[in-house]
Chain A
Amino acid sequence: MANMTLKLLVWRQPGPTVPGRLVPYTADQISPDMSFLEMLDVVNEGLIRKGEEAIAFDSDCSEGICGTCSLVVIGIPHGPQRGTTVCQLHMRHFHDGETITIEPWRARAFPVVKDLVVNRSAFDRIIAAGGYVSVNVGGAPDGNTLPIGKKTADLAMDSAACIGCGACVAACKNASAHLFVGAKISHLALMPQGEVERYERAARMVAQMDAEGFGSCSNEGECEAVCPKEIPISNIARMIREYSKALSTHRKWQWKATTSE
């Protein structure tokens, strides 16, 4: 396949409080074997040579596992290929002369830092609110003490596969984080190790999620469709069940006492 020339419309925004706009660029000599981010590297090199500021975008592993890359490509988070992060999206899926818009994740809870880079620390705060099993180092029993059925383990792993990229939020018309939070709550609720704190965890994580300003779920499933790990929205349903049980049994756990020493 021959090299391509593409027209890019890239969101440039100098800082969090400054308005941004789409700026046109031409990407020349793009090989179909390049990844989308390598294509941007090429564009950036051109800019740097001219002494212009490079387009800021987040990336790290380039393997679809760290969840750092976060671009909305032609209107779809991570681009049109199913189950693929934008770092794994290759240019062979585009055609010569195509116009490609590139925008950041957009959500109140993910404010833009610069250009295509956003701040996703809201996810960290949601995890801090209860996305863990409260075990200290040292006291763990032997790993094989509790057998876990392969099916359960696999199901938990399906949920645990979430890379925390935030594409679900970016895709959702309500900027809802239900899929991300649902996946984490599911992972731990399915494992016997997470059983003890499951309801408190669900209640606390959902409360934090709401406090961060994410929207709620309209059950459209756009999140599932763009999720690079294809996390199904059955995770959201499970979260709702956990949460409902949490609220209906909320006298059994104490909202605060268990969490502060």
Chain B
Amino acid sequence: MTLDSKVPAGPIAEKWDRHKFQVKLVNPANKRKHTVIIVGTGLAGASAASALGELGYQVLSFCIQDSPRRAHSIAAQGGINAAKNYQNDGDSVYRLFYDTVKGGDYRSREANVYRLAQISVNIIDQCVAQGVPFAREYGGLLDNRSFGGAQVSRTFYARGQTGQQLLLGAYQSMMRQVDRGNVKVFARREMLDLVVVDGKARGIVVRNLTTGELETYAADAILLCTGGYGTVFYLSTNAVNSNVTASWRAHKRGALFANPCYTQIHPTCIPVSGEHQSKLTLMSESLRNDGRVWVPKKKGDHRPPNQIPEDERDYYLERKYPSFGNLVPRDVASRNAKQVCDDGRGVGESGLAVYLDFKDAIGRLGRGVIESRYGNLFQMYEKITDENPYEVPMRIFPAVHYTMGGLWVDYNLMSTVPGLHVLGEANFSDHGANRLGASALMQGLADGYFVIPYTLGHYIASTPLPKVSTDAEPFKEAKASVQDRINKLLAVKGHRTIREFHRELGRVMWDHVGMSRNAEGLQRALTEIPKLREQFWHEVSVPGTPDNLNQSLEHAGRVADYLEFAELIALDALERGESCGCHFREESQTPDNEALRDDEHYSYAAAWGFNGVGQRPTLNKEPLTFEEVHLSQRSYK
């Protein structure tokens, strides 16, 4: 398949404006006649629903949670980037664009990233107008902080709850459209299949999670805004209901899946405390602005941290990266934490943690300042670990956090199935091989508020879309296949819990497809995953019935999809023989153990086509060309 990215011609700074002019428009009176299904109510989904509702489309909005306001975006803490240059510190659209392409280790599509940087400016305006209570300076203007290694202060934030406040803004705008009758919300619904009619995405099958009923809905276009697949690792910072199911089933219906191996490991999470754990907690990256990361110089040094003298501590990030210090990008910070732990210098009971120490910052700024900056994070840390981070250094360890990979989309955010658009974390588009801090919220809202209203209109205006009814054959077929899978899950009646399989899959993924990968480990994963899948379908116990709320059944369905999808991640990781961004192949590193890119062979997005479970998928390549940004080896020394 040749992948047409549909990037408009012209100089990069003009592409989007030209495109906006060239797209076809839908007559205002006709918008009412078009139905759009939006799956997901995170930043991407809620913003798209409100924007399209405002334009007059009939929007059907679906989410798993009991309320659209609870989508996983709500958990984002740190902030959202925008090239406002309010701080007069040299920021610009071009710089945000440049930083994002570089931060993504030159594995993203330039034109998309530029558009994202352009739009970032409007996002802040829109959110402020909605009443989002961003942090302010004493003079009443918006406050910014520097975040995740950026050398300018371009991050807007609302205490430690930026995601929540942005999502509430989008959710409220969407509920306004509910009030006006343009948006209908279907909460507690899980999309389990995509319906393709005459080659176009025309509907979905969802399970009503309260009644267990399978429902079908038809529309003129489908928007998947279903978030990332970090929970394939079992333990991650993602909300426990996050899943790949919607994307995966769309993939099975023909949508290509791009760069699944690009998974981001966040350096500052609370370490695992035991087998029972079901979820890891992120400690905002902003902590690295004031905290210093260290481990003991000696291996196996079990003294309490405060008894280890200064000269026996190794502030390894400051030592190795003098110019960025503790603020190196996420992938670099995570990998270094793993290295020192592999080296036997990790701390805490498990030896899988490093210290993040605020002693110097408290000494320099006073406890009050630290408290005002990070009070709620410190409190959360204490609640979970029962340790007081004002007195003893925090223990942190990397954890899976974000997935840059996702369904392949063109410049219009449309997948390879016509009519199926993919927004937010669920698509692969803008972050390349590594996402910069505070850029996911920006992307979700850019896609939903400012991109899709134009590109979707173009699709609808330029495509013949005869009415379809949910009685049509493809709907019946899709519904029957979903029913079949549910029956199969319930029929296994084994004795192992779903969680056991999920945990086991997570272990395989973390060990072999985690922070540091090599051919041998990936091969092992590729043999272990199908085995585990086989066992799952013979030994899993899914109690209960399908005709009411059955959380075991929900979880089982998601794990079953992960057991298929995980193979694709491993294969993609194996196929990509270079290191780039978060994808670190041990075979491809510089003499001082930094990631080594191979632009000659791997400067492409890998978009995989489904050929059946257990069958080798087809690799399609979208070549990445860089006209603006000069490719260089990233260095944060």
Contact = CB atoms under 8 A, between A and B. Distances in A.
Contacts of A52: 543
A261 interface: yes
A220 to B, nearest CB: 26
Contacts of A63: 75, 281-282, 380
A191 B127 CA distance: 12
Contact of A88 (B54, B274, B278, B384): B384
Given A33-B274, A48-B543, A134-B176, A193 B130 contact: yes
B568 to A, nearest CB: 26
A84 interface: yes
B65 A140 contact: no
A38 interface: yes
Given A66-B74, A84-B383, A120-B66, A133 B129 contact: yes
A62 interface: yes
Contact of B240 (A59, A117, A119): A59
Interface stretch (B109-117, B156-164, B360-368): B156-164
Given A38-B278, A135-B130, A193-B129, A161 B70 contact: no
Contacts of B131: 132-133, 156, 187-188, 191, 193-194
Given A143-B125, A164-B69, A53 B165 contact: no
B453 interface: yes
A237 interface: no
A60 B240 contact: yes
A47 B543 contact: yes
Contact of B543 (A53, A139, A191): A53
Given A49-B495, A54-B543, A150-B138, A157 B281 contact: no
A260 B176 CA distance: 11
A60 B70 contact: yes
A160 B164 CA distance: 9
Nearest to B495: A49
Given A62-B239, A157-B159, A41 B276 contact: yes
Contacts of B483: none
B549 A56 contact: yes
Interface string A17-45: 00000000000000101110111011001
B603 interface: no
A240 interface: no
A114 B239 CA distance: 21
Contacts of A191: 131, 133
A37, A92, A142, A149 pick with most chain B CB within 10 angstroms: A142
Nearest to A31: B274
A149 B136 contact: yes
B98 interface: no
Contacts of A213: none
Interface string A112-149: 01100101110110011111111111111111101111
A48 B498 contact: yes
Contacts of A261: 180
B67 to A, nearest CB: 5
Contacts of A176: none
Given A60-B72, A141-B129, A259-B179, A148 B541 contact: no
B67 A137 contact: no
Given A54-B551, A61-B72, A140-B126, A31 B179 contact: no
A136 B549 contact: no
Interface in B101-160: 122, 124-131, 133-142, 158-159
A41 B499 contact: yes
A93 to B, nearest CB: 10
A90 interface: yes
A97 interface: no
A64 interface: yes
Interface in A62-115: 62-68, 81, 84, 88, 90, 92, 113-114
Contacts, number: 231
B545 to A, nearest CB: 8
Interface in B244-290: 273-274, 276-279, 281-282
A123 B380 contact: no
A150 B137 contact: yes
Given A56-B549, A120-B66, A157-B133, A132 B175 contact: yes
A191 to B, nearest CB: 5
B552 A54 contact: yes
B121 to A, nearest CB: 9
Contact of A128 (B47, B165, B178, B542): B178
B548 interface: yes
Given A48-B543, A129-B179, A120 B67 contact: yes
Contacts of B542: 48
B199 interface: no
B543 A90 contact: no
A163 interface: yes
A66 B70 contact: yes
B49 to A, nearest CB: 11
A114 B549 contact: yes
Contact of B541 (A49, A65, A260): A49
A61 B239 contact: yes
A31 B126 contact: no
A222 interface: no
Interface in A218-237: none
Contacts of B274: 31, 33-34
A64 B380 contact: yes
A231 to B, nearest CB: 13
A149 B140 contact: yes
Nearest to A127: B175
A247 interface: no
B497 A58 contact: no
A141 B125 contact: yes
Interface string B494-516: 01111110000000000000000
A39 B65 CA distance: 22
Given A38-B276, A141-B125, A142-B125, A153 B175 contact: no
Given A31-B274, A41-B278, A48-B498, 12 more contacts: A33-B386, A42-B276, A45-B499, A48-B543, A66-B70, A132-B173, A137-B126, A150-B137, A157-B159, A157-B165, A160-B133, A187-B131
17 contacts: A15-B548, A41-B499, A48-B552, A53-B552, A54-B543, A60-B240, A90-B383, A114-B548, A120-B67, A124-B69, A124-B175, A129-B179, A132-B130, A137-B54, A147-B139, A193-B130, A194-B131
Which 10 pairs, one residue from A and one from B, show the smallest C-beta to C-beta distance? Answer: A147-B140, A132-B172, A140-B129, A140-B125, A143-B128, A128-B175, A153-B136, A62-B279, A157-B133, A114-B549
